[in-house]
Amino acid sequence: LSIVHPDELNLLRELFENLVRGGLKTGKLDYRIPRKNSGWVWLHTIGRATEWDPLGQVTKITGLTLDITERHTLIEKITNSQENLKFTLEAVGAFSWHLDRNGNTLSYNTQYFFDNLGYSREELSHNLDEHFSKIHPDDRQRVIDAFDKHFQGELPLVNLDYRVRTKDGTGWVWFNTFG
């Protein structure tokens, strides 16, 4: 255990102690050990108590350990890429969104949208109908129709300008949606 990265050493000890004491029947953990030349190798270990003595004490643990370094590297690259995209979008005054017609939800991936309307993330529902209700009455049906046509395959891309009511209800903010 002395080669395990200090950030995961106690977690690995606790995992095995819980398996030996019978607090867990199965346990798993991702942790790092040093690479031969430099850096770290990420491992995923799954352990399971497989034999007990007549008093119920665990006498055997069987496990499997997988090298998941590549997975961790990809996750780190994706996370960095997402952070870079978010920074870039906010720097140019844009935002990204995800519309789930089946789940009737609309979510935004940057704070820019909320800041422009005066909402916090927690205040603005992801409910699609609620979002549509905040669109200016003169724009609302046009926006709904465009998304309906898109989801029916009649419109390959949605590219709309429309207004959304601010939180305090005193104004409207113009947005261009493309997707």
Kindly state the DSSP code that residue 50 receives in the 8-state scheme. Answer: E
Maximum CA extent, the chain? 77
Q: What is the mean pLDDT of residues 64-70?
A: 95
Residue 106, strand partner residues:
99
Confidence of residue 57 (pLDDT cuts 50, 70, 90): confident
For residues 114 and 42, what is the distance between their CA atoms, to the nearest angstrom? 38
Specify burial of residue 61 (Cβ count, 10 A radius: 0-12, 13-18, 19+).
middle
> Percent of the chain scored above 70 by pLDDT?
99
Using CA atoms, how far apart are residues 121 and 111, in angstroms rounded to an integer? 8
pLDDT bucket at 145, cuts 50 / 70 / 90: very high
What average pLDDT does the segment 72-82 reach?
88
111 pLDDT higher than 80: no
Q: What is the dihedral of CA 73, 74, 80, 85, to 10 degrees?
A: 170
Task: For residue 118, give the 3-state DSSP assignment.
Answer: coil
What's at 69, amino acid-wise?
T
How far apart are the C-alpha atoms of 105 and 27, rounded to whole Å? 36
Q: Which two tokens stand for residue 105?
A: 């939800």
User: Which residues, other chains included, contact 46 with Cβ-Cβ below 8 Å and sequence gap of 6+?
Assistant: 26, 27, 28, 63, 64, 65
Going by pLDDT thresholds of 50, 70 and 90, the confidence category of residue 176 is confident
Check residues 115 and 50 and name the one with the higher pLDDT: 50
Q: Is the pLDDT of residue 136 over 90?
A: yes
The pLDDT value given to residue 11: 93
Can you tell me the distance from the alpha carbon of 167 to that of 163, in angstroms, rounded to the nearest whole number?
13
**pLDDT averaged over the chain?**
87
Q: What is the pLDDT of residues 32-56, one digit of tens each?
A: 999 988 899 999 999 999 998 998 8
- What pLDDT is attached to residue 79? 86
Mind listing the pLDDT tens digit for each residue in 158-173? 889 999 999 999 999 9
**pLDDT at site 33:** 94
